[in-house]
Structure 1
Amino acid sequence: MTRTLNALIYGDVDLNLIDGSAVWAQSTVQALSLAGCRTRLVLKSPVRTERLTEPLAGLPGVTVVRPYEQCLVPGQGPRSSLSPMQASQLLARLDDDEPCDLLVLRGRRAVTRLVADGAFDGRIWAYLTDIPQSAAEMTETARTELARMAGACRHLLCQTEELRSFLETWIPEACGKSVLSPPAVPVPGFHLPERGTPHDPLRLVYTGKFAPLWNTLPMTRLPSALRERNVRAELHTVGDKIHDDHAHPEFKGQMSKALRATPGVHHHGGQSREKAMRIAADCDLGVGWRHPLLDASLELSTKVLEFGVLGLPVVLNRTPAHEALLGSDYPLYVPGNATLDDAAEAVALAVREPEARWTAGERCREAAGQYTLQAAADRWRTHLDRAFPSAPAALAARRRPLRVGVAGHDLKFLTRLLDHFRALPSLDLRIDAWPALSRHDRAASRELAEWADVVVVEWCGPAAVWYSRHKRRGSRLVVRLHRFELEGPWPRQVDIDAVDRVVCVSPYYARRTREHTGWPESKITVIPNWVDADQLDRPKAPGACFRLGMIGIAPSRKRLDLGLDVLEKLRAHDRRWHLSVKSKPPWEYWWIWNKPEERAHYEDVLRRMQTSPLLEGAVVFDDFGPDVPNWLRRIGHVLSTSDDESFHLAPAEGMASGAVPALLPWPGADEIYDRRWIHETPEAMADAIADLGPDGWRSAGELARTQVQESFSLERVARDWRELLASGPEKLP
């Protein structure tokens, strides 16, 4: 990203009331400003307090748009907020005045409206928390709505890895578009007190909104519950947003009264974020105890991070998300279905055991260190660099954009490269998608051939033959050859004199191509398949080190039977080993299932899985789909047991996820992958896997991840393609 990007930000949130959603808007503006963006924050409501907007004044490139005060929305009153339709219309007008490169939106209603209006398709970066977060809530209507959102958005911003995985499992359109965007907390700009002997009385603190599921009403009874345990305590609360909950109509009045009149409760009202942090810093223990209904939430508590950056220990529920953040042995968890007494007991433990209080504080501090504003800015910069790549000098210097046409019947191996090409300045991209191997719209293909400076044909099949015979004088033609084409008639039919480059995905197949076709060596080059290392780099799930994985088991030359050999040998010594297979079943490929020898192979394999005592219950078949990064979180070793491959992407994808690859020596494997991952037999493969052990598995996985990032990352492969596309004759305009 070399140019300054324009960002619009709108949240379906009221910045007059301090809660996590309002703080998100402030933090996002600050992070984007640090990342170098010119940023406009559009407010939903008239300004009644400057607590959250004042810190944005004077930030480089930041403008706060105040629709009511600036009379931008006819009819908006001094107490009324923008509706989703009004917000959509206003954002479109602001975009007309000064086009934005990205629109960052928070709130399902707002995103739904903007997607329906269509003015920002491909530019929306949607931050969604108010969406279904469980299988029971994910209705077909919700799935359809979220799929439509994902299709129109450039990215879906997910607060946690768990939320990203959940979305990708249910919404295939979200795969490849979901990126992490966790909460950000500012580093305090003031001196923090020493965390030694706590105050007497003990000072508890809660900041944020007041709502039934946040246990804020029973929380006010903590001082009295602690008095019964001979602990003198007081509760300090900060915030001015009390939910008007239709399911609990009495709550608002009771909460207001409790804050106002409960002995031992000191309510500080609404405060700026810095003032709230100063109040919290002067306390001894944060309270994050919530109703058990929130234990399954896929969100990350901003409160834990805000207290953590102050070094405050926090009493909170034991949940998977909290255990991932703070560890399963964090000392101040309250149990599931925790009562007021359970919360009081956890506080009393922190008083009785200084070591537990100190450990909890350090854990919270260390966790919060990963979520600073600077970390958020760095994360945004990475996302933006990928979404808005810089053009190489050869393209940037052109008088007009380079016209690139891509043709082929199956472009699945180019998807993310095509996204990259579309984002490149100084490059225009058009697609000629053939509906079948030998079927196409001849008029559309002729139009593309006449228009393009460079045509890239995916697969050296009929499309390559056609374009080699219809090449425009002065243009360039690049053909990408995989493996199966060499067994067909098409390479002999291609007019090689019209082809400028043949791209092979491995050195072995580059040699085979030269030997099989006799084409000039100068025309054949190697650019490997790409791996989206950033999307695949995710934390492993518990138990992953004992799970093998195979991606794609059809046709029979993929040799699932040899994968079962490996599994049986491992399970003969340790029944914790399992195999997960992510693949379409072979009978869904007509060209495979029509062959008797293929059917016989799979019948033998399935019978073996049913009759082998070592394989009973040990093989899981998962649905074929794009959610490979999420699936690989559960996989510790990816197997490649094929008879032959041109590249085999599965081991590389596994490596990017931190899984250890294990390959049999199919021809050319050692020219793509490090020999340490290649084993002569299934037995040797099983022995090598078993010998690693958990610690060896982790270090081997880190090495594998580093290797794939250096050799096959999307950025590395895209750079090679950019250089190839930009290296045309000087006479091209």
Structure 2
Amino acid sequence: MTRTIKALVYGDVDLNLIDGSAVWAQSTVQALSLAGCETRLVLKSPVRTGRLVDPLAGLPGVTVVRPYEERLVAGQGTRPLSPAQAAQLLARLDADEPCDLLVLRGRRLVTRVVADGAFDGRIWAYLTDIPQSATEMTEEAREELSRIAAASRQLLCQTEELRCFLESWVPEACGRAVLCPPSVPEPAFPVPEQDRPHEPLRLVYTGKFAPRWNTLPMTRLPELLAEQGVRAELHTVGDKIHDDPAHPDFKEAMTQALRGAPGIHHHGGQPREQAMRIAAECDLGLGWRDPVLDASLELSTKVLEFGALGLPVVLNRTPAHEALLGADYPLYVPGRADLADAAEAVARAAREPEARHLAADRCRQAARRYTLDSAAARWRGHLDRAFPSAPASVTGRSRPLRVGVAGHDLKFLTRLLDHFRALPGLDVRLDTWSALARHDPVASRELADWADVVVVEWCGPAAVWYSRHKRRGSRFVVRLHRFELDAEWPRQVDIDAVDRVVCVSPYYKRRALDVTGWPDAKVTVVPNWVDTEQLDRPKAPGARFRLGMIGIAPSRKRLDLGLDVLEKLRAHDRRWQLSVKSKPPWEYWWIWNKPEEREHYDAILRRMQNAPLLEGAVVFDQFGPDVANWLRRIGHVLSTSDDESFHLAPAEGMASGAVPALLPWPGADEIYDRRWIHETPEAMAEAIASLVDTEGGWEAAGEVARGQVREGFALERVAEAWTGLLTDSGM
């Protein structure tokens, strides 16, 4: 960021009570301040204690807006703001001082803000109170989340699992969902080093008290451990006790237990640093919950806070915890995760120093990945991509550079358009043709007369039309793909009106020049873009044995050769599988109308039914935008086509850490490193098997591939090249 970004932050949370959501609000403001943002935090409730708010007051660029104390909302009284009141107040604050981004937490709140429409395109929504399983994801919920995603600039996801779940159910989230895990401050005090536990053993719990968090049965642990010969006491910090209608006796029972249960030392609500000091004087943190929460896609801030203090934590064995701490973490609650099981895990920590030290080390290592400094760096990355600097060529202009983009299919320009719209000094408008050769001539004429530069995607009828209606003094850029060269349109374009023709590979530049006779100086190469940040995700277990193909129609994509590779691999190891992400060919009328195409796919389907080595080994996955999520399961992306202009699939796979494998279609070696190109399907299979059979070979190759695609095709690099084309600089 070169300019100061203004953020408005509001969470549907009460900062008087310490729990994960309130700590999120504090941490978010701290991270935004460290990232260089000018940040206003708007409070939901009247301030009764400054435990969480006071530490923010002195931060650089931070303002705390107190609606109750400042009398900003008529009729609020001493009640917290409702979602409707909050939405109205945020709109008023934005009108007085416009924000660049609005960071929100809370599904009801975000839904209301989206419905009002005042912040479309500026919302950065942090959602945890959403369905997190297929059984909970109703059609009504999916539609609501789709509206939120469509109105948001970014969706902030706490974990990779939550991001992938959201993308699989809400296509609008794809490309917008980014990771924003919880962060914990490093202790501002010396953490005591304790080689041996206290006598009695000190357990600690901090946060809210709620039935599913097992806080009531937790208070019986000292008594239960005493029966096993382990003297223990439980220290608790917090003042938020849930009043749960499903458990009407819980609040009273919890209150009584904190006041007088044997071995309980309740410290009440405390500032965050003091809570950490109390925990640091203890031996073992408690993060044990009801098993109903085991499927949660969230990450426990409590575990990270205890880890920052070097405390081992007793907690449930879940996929999320195994990903964080390892499957062999020694202090998972065994069995059914009931009270007796939790006591058994605590007793193990007390009796087995090696287990306790290993657990403490794992928790400490995990917490190091979630520091406040790491959160600030992550925010800086998100903000730099969302708010790029103005290109030097447009600074100092009396008005923005007017950029018109036209075409019937703009899917290959989506993220470039986002980048253009975000650039200061550019004004972007679209002329979307309803079909390849169908448009509104009046709208097209208006764009041609208005724009300083027109970009036409595909060298088809739109390129022909705009070449004949170019405004004097404007620039005209056309992007040419593969299929146009087989038609008459390039020869119908008035090349004298064109400033640049963009091809995605050197081979297709040469073909375009040969076919059209255009001047070499007018034709340039800019590769396709790859969103390396979105695609760079951890691989799922077993990915190394899974091949992937994206798009198998028309027949020149050669799925049959992909099956050849799979058969060769499965002849030696039945773990190999092939996943295909594509529309079926019969959904493309222009393909399915051709008898030779139907015959090709009929032969493939019969082969998959009858070939013993292919039985159960090919999976057809739904076509859709969730490619980043899908690639987590893929270890090798195949490109077996007869010909391609670029073929984005291998590059996307490379960005995910998958290893590309290509047959030598014309021009492939001018786009991809020759190490990934194989002469035959047999040679391809041998190379893939060799990588997996070599210790660390697949992982090392994936890292090389990831580095290559970042260097050559990263969205930021390609966007910079396109910006030069728009402004006639650097090209």
Question: Normalising by structure 1, what TM-score?
Answer: 0.99
Look up the equivalent residue of 1:662 and give its one-letter code.
A
CA contact (8 A) 1:391 1:426 kept: yes
Quick one: structure 1 residues 310 and 728, their matched pair in 2 at CA, closer, same or farther if it must change by over 3 Å? closer
| Other-structure match for 1:329 | 328
Tell me, in whole angstroms, the C-alpha distance in 2 between the residues paired with 1:222 and 1:722.
63
Tell me, in whole angstroms, the C-alpha distance in 2 between the residues paired with 1:167 and 1:554.
28
Structure 1 residue 719 corresponds to structure 2 residue 715: no
| Other-structure match for 1:352 | 351
| Other-structure match for 2:380 | 381
Tell me, in whole angstroms, the C-alpha distance in 1 between the residues paired with 2:102 and 2:491.
50
Post-superposition offset of 1:697 = 0.5
Look up the equivalent residue of 1:29 and give its one-letter code.
V
Post-superposition offset of 1:352 = 1.4
Structure 1 residue 549 corresponds to structure 2 residue 548: yes
CA contact (8 A) 1:291 1:337 kept: no
| Other-structure match for 1:627 | 626
| Other-structure match for 1:410 | 409
Post-superposition offset of 1:696 = 0.6
Post-superposition offset of 1:337 = 2.5
CA contact (8 A) 2:315 2:331 kept: yes
Post-superposition offset of 1:353 = 1.2
| Other-structure match for 1:127 | 126
Look up the equivalent residue of 2:374 and give its one-letter code.
A
Structure 1 residue 445 corresponds to structure 2 residue 444: yes
Post-superposition offset of 1:335 = 2.8
Structure 1 residue 667 corresponds to structure 2 residue 666: yes
Moved more, 545-554 or 326-335: 326-335
| Other-structure match for 1:514 | 513
CA contact (8 A) 1:456 1:478 kept: yes
| Other-structure match for 2:17 | 17
Look up the equivalent residue of 1:536 and give its one-letter code.
L
CA contact (8 A) 1:317 1:336 kept: no
CA contact (8 A) 1:183 1:371 kept: yes
Post-superposition offset of 1:728 = 6.5
CA contact (8 A) 2:19 2:208 kept: yes
Post-superposition offset of 1:366 = 0.6
Tell me, in whole angstroms, the C-alpha distance in 2 between the residues paired with 1:100 and 1:335.
49
Deviation sequence 1:367-409 (CA, Å, 0-9, x none): 0001111100000000000000001111123221111100001
Post-superposition offset of 1:413 = 0.3
| Other-structure match for 2:36 | 36
Taking the TM superposition and a 5 Å limit, the aligned residue runs for 1:129-278 are 129-278=128-277
| Other-structure match for 1:709 | 710
| Other-structure match for 2:700 | 699
Look up the equivalent residue of 2:55 and give its one-letter code.
P
Look up the equivalent residue of 1:251 and give its one-letter code.
F
| Other-structure match for 2:469 | 470
Deviation sequence 1:414-462 (CA, Å, 0-9, x none): 0000000000000010000001000000000000000001000000000
Tell me, in whole angstroms, the C-alpha distance in 1 between the residues paired with 2:276 and 2:394.
49
Post-superposition offset of 1:336 = 5.3
Tell me, in whole angstroms, the C-alpha distance in 2 between the residues paired with 1:328 and 1:146.
33
Look up the equivalent residue of 2:722 and give its one-letter code.
W
Deviation sequence 1:132-163 (CA, Å, 0-9, x none): 00000000000010000000011110000000
| Other-structure match for 1:56 | 56
| Other-structure match for 2:282 | 283
Taking the TM superposition and a 5 Å limit, the aligned residue runs for 1:456-467 are 456-467=455-466
Tell me, in whole angstroms, the C-alpha distance in 2 between the residues paired with 1:619 and 1:399.
59
| Other-structure match for 1:67 | 67
Quick one: structure 1 residues 328 and 519, their matched pair in 2 at CA, closer, same or farther if it must change by over 3 Å? same
CA contact (8 A) 2:103 2:125 kept: yes
Quick one: structure 1 residues 156 and 336, their matched pair in 2 at CA, closer, same or farther if it must change by over 3 Å? farther
| Other-structure match for 1:430 | 429
| Other-structure match for 2:532 | 533
Post-superposition offset of 1:232 = 0.6
| Other-structure match for 1:505 | 504
CA contact (8 A) 1:664 1:680 kept: yes
Post-superposition offset of 1:76 = 1.2
Structure 1 residue 3 corresponds to structure 2 residue 3: yes
Identity %: 81
CA contact (8 A) 2:546 2:579 kept: yes
CA contact (8 A) 1:476 1:728 kept: no
Q: Report the 3-state secondary structure (helix = DSSP H, G, I; strand = E; otherwise coil) of the residue aligned with 1:614.
A: helix
Tell me, in whole angstroms, the C-alpha distance in 2 between the residues paired with 1:86 and 1:66.
14
Q: Report the 3-state secondary structure (helix = DSSP H, G, I; strand = E; otherwise coil) of the residue aligned with 2:393.
A: helix
CA contact (8 A) 2:453 2:477 kept: yes
Tell me, in whole angstroms, the C-alpha distance in 1 between the residues paired with 2:573 and 2:227.
52
Tell me, in whole angstroms, the C-alpha distance in 1 between the residues paired with 2:546 and 2:690.
15
Q: Report the 3-state secondary structure (helix = DSSP H, G, I; strand = E; otherwise coil) of the residue aligned with 1:393.
A: coil
| Other-structure match for 1:297 | 296
Taking the TM superposition and a 5 Å limit, the aligned residue runs for 1:595-674 are 595-674=594-673
Tell me, in whole angstroms, the C-alpha distance in 2 between the residues paired with 1:134 and 1:277.
33
Look up the equivalent residue of 2:7 and give its one-letter code.
A
Moved more, 543-552 or 332-341: 332-341
Tell me, in whole angstroms, the C-alpha distance in 2 between the residues paired with 1:399 and 1:531.
34
Tell me, in whole angstroms, the C-alpha distance in 2 between the residues paired with 1:326 and 1:513.
55
Look up the equivalent residue of 2:141 and give its one-letter code.
A
Q: Report the 3-state secondary structure (helix = DSSP H, G, I; strand = E; otherwise coil) of the residue aligned with 1:394.
A: coil
Aligned pair count reads: 728
Q: Report the 3-state secondary structure (helix = DSSP H, G, I; strand = E; otherwise coil) of the residue aligned with 1:431.
A: strand
Post-superposition offset of 1:529 = 0.2
| Other-structure match for 1:392 | 391
* Structure 2 portions without partners, runs of 5+: none
Tell me, in whole angstroms, the C-alpha distance in 2 between the residues paired with 1:724 and 1:337.
62
Tell me, in whole angstroms, the C-alpha distance in 2 between the residues paired with 1:476 and 1:125.
35
Tell me, in whole angstroms, the C-alpha distance in 1 between the residues paired with 2:563 and 2:52.
59
| Other-structure match for 2:102 | 103
CA contact (8 A) 1:292 1:336 kept: no
Post-superposition offset of 1:717 = 0.3
Tell me, in whole angstroms, the C-alpha distance in 2 between the residues paired with 1:306 and 1:427.
44
Q: Report the 3-state secondary structure (helix = DSSP H, G, I; strand = E; otherwise coil) of the residue aligned with 2:613.
A: coil
Look up the equivalent residue of 2:29 and give its one-letter code.
V
Tell me, in whole angstroms, the C-alpha distance in 2 between the residues paired with 1:728 and 1:560.
42
- How much is the aligned-residue C-alpha RMSD, in angstroms? 0.8
Tell me, in whole angstroms, the C-alpha distance in 2 between the residues paired with 1:511 and 1:569.
36
- The ranges of structure 1 where at least 4 consecutive aligned residues each deviate by more than 6 angstroms after the TM superposition are none
Tell me, in whole angstroms, the C-alpha distance in 1 between the residues paired with 2:408 and 2:447.
15
| Other-structure match for 1:561 | 560
Post-superposition offset of 1:667 = 0.3
CA contact (8 A) 2:84 2:112 kept: yes
Deviation sequence 1:306-353 (CA, Å, 0-9, x none): 000001000000000000000111110113531111111111111111
Tell me, in whole angstroms, the C-alpha distance in 1 between the residues paired with 2:51 and 2:521.
66
Post-superposition offset of 1:550 = 0.1
Post-superposition offset of 1:287 = 0.5
CA contact (8 A) 1:285 1:314 kept: yes
Q: Report the 3-state secondary structure (helix = DSSP H, G, I; strand = E; otherwise coil) of the residue aligned with 1:64.
A: strand
Q: Report the 3-state secondary structure (helix = DSSP H, G, I; strand = E; otherwise coil) of the residue aligned with 1:245.
A: coil
Tell me, in whole angstroms, the C-alpha distance in 1 between the residues paired with 2:315 and 2:330.
10
Look up the equivalent residue of 2:158 and give its one-letter code.
Q
CA contact (8 A) 2:153 2:176 kept: yes
CA contact (8 A) 1:406 1:432 kept: yes
Tell me, in whole angstroms, the C-alpha distance in 1 between the residues paired with 2:458 and 2:108.
43
Q: Report the 3-state secondary structure (helix = DSSP H, G, I; strand = E; otherwise coil) of the residue aligned with 1:666.
A: coil
Look up the equivalent residue of 2:700 and give its one-letter code.
S
Tell me, in whole angstroms, the C-alpha distance in 2 between the residues paired with 1:396 and 1:361.
54
Look up the equivalent residue of 2:235 and give its one-letter code.
H
